Amino acid sequence: MSQENYYQWGHKRRFNTFSDYIRMRFGSRVQKLTIDAGFTCPNRDGSKGRGGCTYCNNNAFNPSYCEPKRSISDQIELGIEFHQKRYSKANSFLAYFQAYSNTYGELSILKKKYSEALKNDNVVGIVIGTRPDCVDNEILDYLAELNEKTYLTLEFGIESCYDETLLKINRGHDFKTTQLAFEESRKRGIRTGGHMIIGLPGESKEMILREASILSELKVDQLKFHQLQYVKGTQMAKDFLKNPNEYTEFELMEYLGLMVEFIEKLKPEIVIERIAGETVREYNMRESWGLRYDRVLSEFEKLLEQKDSWQGKYFKKLKNG
């Protein structure tokens, strides 16, 4: 592929940003509004496993208004109020079913919960976060139907492309299951997102960079990246304290340097929603970088500029892809 520059794909910035995608799709800013709809997860209730993924503590990501004891409608009202205080121009929202596995339940219950969220006039679409092993044909067929009526993204936790890592972090499914979930969603025209954790135990820099090529072959429309964080109350935080040498802790610039190399190999068409993660400060067991996400992003873009780098600069299709 030509390496002229990033304009060749119509990108205004050096990577394919979510904010540009949203503006193109909706013509204005649209804010994601997190909901905790009271789902659980098969990796916690015993049907797949107990205790969950070793890094998981959902409370660390939920904003204060987001509590399952409140109705979905109330969470949306409070969420809108919260966002309008921060960004006065926020008028359109995507209801984001984020906590736990939001397709894990009877179809009739899923339908009820999604339609409650879509009732609010300020909600212009829905984002559903789930595990790749929590969708079947019945659910996907229904989501394809819903997708005809509203904007919809189905977001899967990928976390790693390596089965040995997935085993280590107690995910309870393999990468083949992930690939299948993306393929089945794409077949039905459902827009998909994926969540990745960078720096999981046992993954070398080479392994991480190879994931950029593997993800480029996946039927995924947008990706979010989080650096591995040690969240209080998780099994991973305990393991880290016992064997710190087996775990990675990125300095900010080290992480951003790695992500520059990563996105150089990533397919240019994939939208990047986040380059790094934030947790609520009191949940972080280690010193965090002490920067808000917008500052992290601006450091990342400065680095891309300095290195004259961009998403897809070295993108190559895998030989047997």
Chain residues binding ligand SF4 by CB under 6 A are 41, 43-44, 52-53, 56, 58, 100-101, 131, 157
Q: Alpha carbon of 118 to those of 109, 112, 151, 226, 274: distances in Å? A: 14, 10, 10, 28, 25
Nearest residue (CB) to ligand SF4, 110 versus 118: 110
Give dist(CA 151, CA 167) in Å, integer: 34
Nearest residue (CB) to ligand SF4, 41 versus 272: 41
Report the residue number whose CB is nearest to ligand SF4: 52
**68, 43, 47: which is closest to 56 by C-alpha?**
43
Q: How far is the CB of 160 from ligand SF4 (least distance, A)?
A: 12
Give dist(CA 95, CA 153) in Å, integer: 10
Complete edge-to-edge strand list for the sheet that includes strand 123-130: 31-35, 93-97, 123-130, 151-159, 191-198, 222-227, 271-274
Burial of 14 (0-12, 13-18, 19+ CB in 10 A): buried
Nearest residue (CB) to ligand SF4, 32 versus 265: 32
Q: How far is the CB of 169 from ligand SF4 (least distance, A)?
A: 8
| 272 DSSP β-pair partners | 17, 223
Q: How far is the CB of 206 from ligand SF4 (least distance, A)?
A: 26
Nearest residue (CB) to ligand SF4, 39 versus 114: 39
Q: How far is the CB of 226 from ligand SF4 (least distance, A)?
A: 11
The torsion of the CA quartet 252, 255, 258, 262, rounded to 10 degrees, works out to -120
Q: How far is the CB of 134 from ligand SF4 (least distance, A)?
A: 8
Nearest residue (CB) to ligand SF4, 231 versus 256: 231
Nearest residue (CB) to ligand SF4, 157 versus 312: 157
Q: How far is the CB of 98 from ligand SF4 (least distance, A)?
A: 10
